[in-house]
Amino acid sequence: MYLLSSAERFTLPQALTQYTDAYGGPMWNIQLAAATLTALPVLIVFVIAQKQFVEGLAHTGLKG
Can you tell me the distance from the alpha carbon of 46 to that of 48, in angstroms, rounded to the nearest whole number? 5
Residue 40 pLDDT more than 70? Answer: yes
| Contact (CB, 8 A) for 16 and 32 | no
Per the confidence metrics, is the pTM higher than 0.85?
no
Cα-Cα-Cα-Cα dihedral of 23, 29, 31, 34, to 10°?
A: -140
CA distance 61 to 63: 7
The 8-class DSSP code of residue 39 comes to H
pLDDT digits (tens, 9 = 90+) for 46-57: 999 999 988 888
**Whole-Å CA distances, 26 to 9, 16, 31:** 21, 10, 8
